[in-house]
Amino acid sequence: MPFAEVSTDIITQFTAIVGNENVIVDAEKRFAYSHDETEDYSFLPDVVLKPTTPEEISAIMRLCNQHHIAVTPRGGGTGLSGGALPIEKGVVISMERFNKIISIDELNLQATVEPGVITEVFQNAVKEKGLFYPPDPASRGSCFIGGNVSENSGGPKAVKYGVTRDYVLNLEVVLPTGDIIWTGANVLKNSTGYNLTQLMCGSEGTLGIITKIVFKLRGLPQKSVLLLMPFVTNEEACKAIAEIFRAGITPSGMEFFEREAAMKTIDYCEKIYAAKVTTQFPENMDAYLLCELDGNDDEVLMRDAERVMAVVENFQAGEILFADSELQKEELWKIRKNISPGVQAYSLNKAEDVVVPRANLPKLIVGIKQIGHRYGFNSVCYGHLGDGNLHINVLKEQMSDEDWNTKVNDGIAEIFSLAVSLGGTLSGEHGIGIAKKPFMNIAMREANLHVMRGIKKAFDPNGILNPGKIF
């Protein structure tokens, strides 16, 4: 059944719900809501709405459900799989006005926030109270915390502290039918019915619209050390990772990047920040690991750092840089966090996000380069290799559009098949959205997809919410 168009009568009703100033019909203004950071996709919605309460969203959903109008919820627009794009047109609900931190409960180590709060704003508010919200996506300066929940974002700290879903205790959600529910309770453990909270995390806005989030917090670690470790080959770097964990050390960051990623990002950073990068990246090296250790005890940290260095000595590694000033640590993290926009600035690319068991990384990274060689594409690899999550930016460079849309996709399918054959899967933290949807059958059997479709139907009987995503 095709979706209905948004008529002027419906617009009038939207206006009655959210007020005139929160209904965007102007085409130029709508355009900003037609794309995110996924390749060059763009889909113009019929109308953009900016509600501020769950009740307003409920009224919108009831109306759209009744008239079979497609609704796409949108956070900060930093998604890398197209999850927030209105591919069936209709309504975009922008969550930008849900931007309040409702409470930070220091006694229970919990916080209640609205989904439109920018992740970094929330991190800093919590930090001011001596507390810690670990998930830290590279886009933290502009992404919304609700988008983080919907895509189950990770970031560098996930290796020690877990991903977004590990911090979500409870969610207020407006269902596609307009019902407003809390998915669970504000508790650390819960065996009371099906875990709707965890089901919502990573469901990419297809099951309901999150309007409040109760997060678990932690105490803030007071100290950290940062090591930049160069390796002669990608494979040697990947091999070292599993051995570091096997030695019983749990770094709070274990980031990998190819030399090419570092070089392109240094160019990019020097341009946008208009400042020279001072860190010297040892030459004649193919890959680097950025290893962070955190805690509250200098001695324990130094002992662990020495143990990491002792492990790395068994591999073909260069001289390790021990970042000893806050300034140098910041510079190294700035480079790491700018790899994605840095590569983006260099060439149109497809950003993949596979994940495998850590010890299978060497086979993965060697295989990816062989596949690229066979299909004729370059790729830049980097990512959170401590938890087995590799980002692969496949570059268009001078490739023809035809090759880009056919040959390259076949190569990417091979990369996914390789990841799955190594016990892994398609996406570690970016989600499926529309960009990875054609590849879902590589990771799942029809029976899985059948169950997922049934779950979707349980929440959204008419299929109006974020249609055409995931499966």
Amino acid type, 16: A
The nearer residue to a copy of itself, 264 or 337, going by C-beta atoms, is 337
**Smallest separation, CB 403 to a copy of itself (Å):** 27
Cβ at position 24, least distance to a copy of itself in Å:
29
Beta carbon of residue 314, minimum distance to a copy of itself (angstroms, whole number): 15
Considering beta carbons, is residue 334 or 437 the nearer one to a copy of itself? 437
CA atoms within 13 A on the CB side of 99: 12
Residue among 275, 227, 216, 217 nearest 249 (CA): 227
Angstrom distance (rounded) from CA 206 to CA 173: 12
Length of the chain: 471
Cα–Cα distance between 205 and 32 in angstroms, integer? Answer: 19
Nearer to a copy of itself, 124 or 195 (CB): 195
Nearer to a copy of itself, 106 or 326 (CB): 106
Residue 246, token pair as written in the block: 């096997």
User: In which order are the strands placed within the sheet that holds 168-174?
Assistant: 101-105, 110-113, 209-216, 168-174, 180-182
- Closer to a copy of itself by Cβ: residue 116 or 431: 431
Closest by alpha carbon to 241, among 218, 257, 225? 257
How many whole angstroms separate alpha carbon 469 and alpha carbon 30? Answer: 21
In Å, how far are 181, 210, 330, 456, 467 from 62, measured between CA atoms?
A: 15, 16, 47, 17, 16
Would you say 345 or 420 has its CB closer to a copy of itself?
420
Nearest 10 degrees: Cα torsion 114, 115, 121, 125: 40
Which token pair is 390? Answer: 């590799």
**Sign of the torsion angle spanned by Cα atoms 341, 346, 347, 352:** negative
Shortest distance, position 47 Cβ to a copy of itself, whole Å? 27
How far is the first Cα of the chain from the last one, in angstroms, to the nearest whole number?
17
Helix (H, G, I), strand (E, B) or coil at 168: strand
For residue 151, the minimal CB distance to a copy of itself (Å) is 6
Q: Of 244 and 321, which CB lies nearer to a copy of itself in the complex structure?
A: 244
Task: Give the strands of the sheet with 321-323, arranged side by side.
Answer: 321-323, 223-231, 287-295, 253-258, 379-384, 389-395, 349-355
Closest CB to a copy of itself among residues 220, 309? 220
For a copy of itself, the closer of residues 23 and 385 by Cβ is 385
Q: How far is the CB of 428 from a copy of itself (least distance, A)?
A: 5
- Nearest Cα neighbor of 57 from 107, 22, 27, 104 is 22
Instruction: Kindly state the smallest distance separating residue 368's Cβ from a copy of itself, in Å.
Output: 16
Smaller CB separation from a copy of itself, 204 or 331: 204
CB of 422 to a copy of itself, least distance (A): 9
- Going by their DSSP bridges, the two strands 23-24 and 47-49 should be labelled as antiparallel
Q: How near is the Cβ of 429 to a copy of itself at its closest, in Å?
A: 5
Q: How far is the CB of 5 from a copy of itself (least distance, A)?
A: 29
Short-list 334, 270, 351, CA closest to 36? 351
388 or 468: whose CB is closer to a copy of itself? 388
Give phi and psi for 448, each to the nearest 5. Answer: -65, -50
CB of 356 to a copy of itself, least distance (A): 6
